[in-house]
Amino acid sequence: MIRFDNVTYVYPTGVKALNGISVEIGRGELVALMGENGAGKTTFIKHLNGLLKPTTGSVYVNGKDTRTLSVAQLSRIVGIMFQNTDDMFFLPTVEEEVAFSLRNLGFSEEVVQRRVDWALKFMELEKYRKRSPFLLSGGEKKRLALAIILAWNPQVIAMDEPTVGQDNAQKEKLKEMIKQLNLQGRSVIISTHDVEFVAELRPRVILMSRGRIVADGRAEAILTDGELLSSCSILMPQVAATVSRLADLGFNTKVISVEDAIRSIVDGLRRLEHTRGA
Amino acid sequence: MEIVKVEGLTFTYSGSDIPALSNIDLSIEDGEFVLLLGPSGCGKSTLCRCLNGLIPHFYAGKIDGRVIVAGMDVSKTPTYVLSQHVGMVFQNPENQLFSLTVENDVAFALENLGIPRDEIRRRVDFALKAVGIEDLSKRSPFELSGGQQQKVAIASILALMPRLMVLDEPTSSLDPVSAKSIIDTIFKIKKELGTTVIVAEHRVELLADKVDRVIVMQKGSIIMDGDPREIFASEEVMPYGVPVPKVVSMAKGVNKHLKVFNDVPLSPEEFERGIRGFVHDKVR
């Protein structure tokens, strides 16, 4: 679906933001791109729809080199939600915002209406159709940005720091939406340093530092590796940080969810009781 | 002694029909560390603005009730007087910084107050040291990272040595390591100087074991107010979408199988202590 082949990207200022990135992301994968500010996450995402083209190396989307396609062509395959969604709205109502890009992409008016209805319903924004986007709350604006992208039905959805500035309830909702989009067979890529959010989503984690990929694997493996995380200035999620303190008692420490942690601790304590009883 | 006294406070922004705050009564003691929780739009920021006089002096709207801070009626006290007692840090530190160097930014308010030069020097050094950015004093605030900028914003407030610090989501744009460092700094200041701190923040994992009191807001009202251990352990917070530290959920879950915890832990350290205590008493 997406392939980075030894990609290096140097900004005109001379900053090398990506440094030899090679990675593949398959259809229907859920991926969290993690790393501290400046690790190269946003630069990576901008390569997905050709907003940036590699300085050296190549990015392939559905087998095609992004240098051979326009941003508009790539955007039909990869929809990107940027961090600052406020900047993207400019029309008087929510429904017009969603319809705008569909009309630009040349869909018939009947299809536009159907897709607007579907996207607003999916993002739970129907009741705001006639409202100005600027009157929405922060969480609603994020959902509108996502509705706009969803309306074109891209196969890949990428989100840059979707949880920043979102409260608990908004994050819960976002998590459910990401899971649903992924269940519908879309590849979903989120860039984030929100470890608690990633621990709940349990995706494949690609860990970046200074323009390089330093680890790539299941969330359970990466988010429980304290040494690796701290080398990238990332804290362990609280569940893993807590259970890792009890490693000497023989507990299973490769856990990142509350449920798994409870099982690990209860099993561990029972085992200790049993050993003592015997 | 009471440093904040809010009585029957209702505030409606002009252009809105719904009050952002309705009938708030609140009393905060000198030296308390208070965590303000609640979903976006619940009134946390509005309450913060009422404490430093931005409301009613800068935001238009209809206000009822009284806000007394450090013995002064906020609505009758000019903000330049209030600012000597209440320091405010906003979500977006960039909006607060404007000087060519970090130390000029930190000194700015002191110069405005006509404080003698050597006293300014002393306070600036103290504030930069307190937040751990002495090495950045000659840098431009605009070339710093978000976390460093947030520390500059906090230092410029600290230099005023306010009795009360109000921080509205001070870590919202920061990565977890910077966020932890900011929270640890605030806690250290509170402990060493006895400053009263009110902080609105979603990252309960970082704050639960440090604050003295948690206030939960919902739709412009205070719905819970009390000891963090009681609030986070209570089943009542669940429907309000209040974030609960993971260690609390873990301890409750473990207790359903084995009675390990008498009180819910608020940090990984407390959780560990609970488990080791149980192993010591019951297992070995």
The Cα of B202 is separated from the nearest Cα of chain A by a number of Å equal to 6
CB atoms B272 and A266 under 8 Å: no
Contact status, residue B228 vs residue B65, Cβ threshold 8 Å: no
CB atoms B39 and A168 under 8 Å: yes
What is the side-by-side order of every strand in the sheet holding B61-69? Answer: B21-29, B2-13, B61-69, B72-73
The Cα of B279 is separated from the nearest Cα of chain A by a number of Å equal to 7
Contact status, residue B211 vs residue B228, Cβ threshold 8 Å: yes
The Cα of A257 is separated from the nearest Cα of chain B by a number of Å equal to 9
Whether residue A241 sits in one domain with residue A176: no
Whether residue A166 sits in one domain with residue A66: yes
Whether residue A94 sits in one domain with residue A175: yes
Least confidently predicted of A200-209, B83-92, B114-123: B83-92
CB atoms A239 and B243 under 8 Å: no
State the pLDDT at residue A148: 92
Question: Considering Cα of A117, then A121, then A123, then A128, what sign does the dihedral take?
Answer: positive
CB atoms A37 and B146 under 8 Å: yes
The Cα of A108 is separated from the nearest Cα of chain B by a number of Å equal to 38
Q: What is the DSSP pairing of strand A30-34 with strand A187-192?
A: parallel
Whether residue A241 sits in one domain with residue A215: no
**B88 and chain A: CB distance < 8 Å anywhere?**
no
In sequence order, the 6+-apart residues with CB closer than 8 A to the CB of A182 are A28, A30, A188
Whether residue A247 sits in one domain with residue A212: no
The Cα of A194 is separated from the nearest Cα of chain B by a number of Å equal to 7
Burial class (CB in 10 A: 0-12, 13-18, 19+), A13: exposed
ipTM: 0.83
Residue A196 lies in a domain: yes
Whether residue A265 sits in one domain with residue A207: no
Residue A231 lies in a domain: no
Q: Each residue of B107-137: pLDDT tens digit?
A: 988 888 888 999 999 999 988 988 888 899 9
Distance of alpha carbon A168 from alpha carbon A73, whole angstroms: 36
Q: What is the DSSP letter of A138?
A: H
Distance of alpha carbon B122 from alpha carbon B129, whole angstroms: 11
**B92 and chain A: CB distance < 8 Å anywhere?**
no
Bridge partners, A79 (sequence order): A157
Phi then psi for residue A101, to 5 deg, are -70, -30
Amino acid at B217: M
Report the residue of chain A nearest B257, measured CA to CA.
A266
Torsion of CA A86, A87, A91, A95, to 10 degrees: -50
Residue A44 lies in a domain: yes
Which residue segment(s) compose the domain that A11 sits in?
2-219
Whether residue A140 sits in one domain with residue A242: no
Residue A247 lies in a domain: yes
Whether residue A86 sits in one domain with residue A129: yes
CB-hemisphere CA count at 13 Å for A70? 2
Mean pLDDT over the full length of chain A = 91
Reduce the DSSP state of residue A14 to 3 states and report it: coil
Burial class (CB in 10 A: 0-12, 13-18, 19+), A85: buried
Report how many domains make up chain A: 2
Distance of alpha carbon A3 from alpha carbon A225, whole angstroms: 26
Residue A144 lies in a domain: yes
Residue A98 lies in a domain: yes
Interface mutation target, options A269, A273, A275, A276, chain B, most CBs of B under 10 Å = A269
**pLDDT reading at B144 higher than 90:** no
CATH number, domain at A168? 3.40.50.300
Window B:35-64, CB contacts with A under 8 Å: 39-41
CB atoms B250 and A273 under 8 Å: no
In sequence order, the 6+-apart residues with CB closer than 8 A to the CB of A68 are none
To which residue do tokens 């002009």 refer? Answer: B14
Bridge partners, B164 (sequence order): B86, B196
Measured at the CA of A173, the angle between CA A172 and CA A178, to 5 degrees, comes to 100
Whether residue A192 sits in one domain with residue A103: yes
State the pLDDT at residue B284: 61
State the pLDDT at residue A276: 72
State the pLDDT at residue B241: 74
Whether residue A113 sits in one domain with residue A36: yes
Residue A172 lies in a domain: yes
B281 confidence band (pLDDT: 50, 70, 90): confident
CB atoms A270 and B258 under 8 Å: yes
Q: Which residues of B touch A170 (CB under 8 A)?
A: 39-40
Residue A214 lies in a domain: yes
Report the residue of chain B nearest A84, measured CA to CA.
B173
Q: Each residue of B217-240: pLDDT tens digit?
A: 999 999 999 999 999 998 877 777
Contact status, residue B74 vs residue B17, Cβ threshold 8 Å: no
Report the residue of chain A nearest B91, measured CA to CA.
A165
DSSP letters, B22-52, are EEEEEEEETT-EEEEE--TTSSHHHHHHHHT
Whether residue A192 sits in one domain with residue A109: yes
Measured at the CA of B35, the angle between CA B34 and CA B40, to 5 degrees, comes to 140
CB-hemisphere CA count at 13 Å for A100? 16
The Cα of A63 is separated from the nearest Cα of chain B by a number of Å equal to 35
Whether residue A205 sits in one domain with residue A127: yes
Distance of alpha carbon B270 from alpha carbon A156, whole angstroms: 43
**B248 and chain A: CB distance < 8 Å anywhere?**
no
